[in-house]
């Protein structure tokens, strides 16, 4: 019974994680610049919406490779009243 279900079920479209990470990295390099960096959350939101077959783990790998000048860090004191 289980074999029958697997045989009939449509196959998932699979791409290698490294290939998707590479596509995401190229996309990140086009949407961010040292003069206009993005936060991780903004970049991830845009990548997952715009890059076909993107998933969070592939984004994490691409973000780790991306040049630090293209990243905007979160302020430690953001929202603080001090």
Query: What confidence tens digit (pLDDT) does each residue in 52-71 have?
Result: 989 999 999 999 999 999 99
Query: What confidence tens digit (pLDDT) does each residue in 1-26 have?
Result: 555 555 555 555 556 778 999 999 99
More confident residue, 43 or 78: 43
Which uninterrupted H or E stretch holds 59? helix 56-65
- Domain boundary assignment for the chain: 16-70
Buried b (16+ CB within 10 A) or exposed e, 46-57: bbeeebeebeee
Q: Tell me the residue length of the chain.
A: 82
Token pair of 66 as six digits = 């991306």
Predicted local distance difference test score (pLDDT) of residue 82: 47
Predicted local distance difference test score (pLDDT) of residue 21: 93
């Amino acid at each position: 019974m289980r074999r029958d279900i697997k045989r009939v079920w449509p196959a998932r479209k699979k791409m290698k994680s490294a290939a998707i990470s590479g596509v995401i990295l190229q996309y990140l390099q086009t949407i961010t610049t040292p003069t206009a960096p993005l936060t991780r959350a903004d970049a991830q939101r845009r990548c997952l919406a715009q890059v076909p077959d993107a998933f969070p783990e592939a984004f994490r790998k691409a973000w780790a490779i991306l040049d630090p000048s293209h990243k905007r860090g979160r302020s430690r004191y953001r929202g603080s009243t001090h």
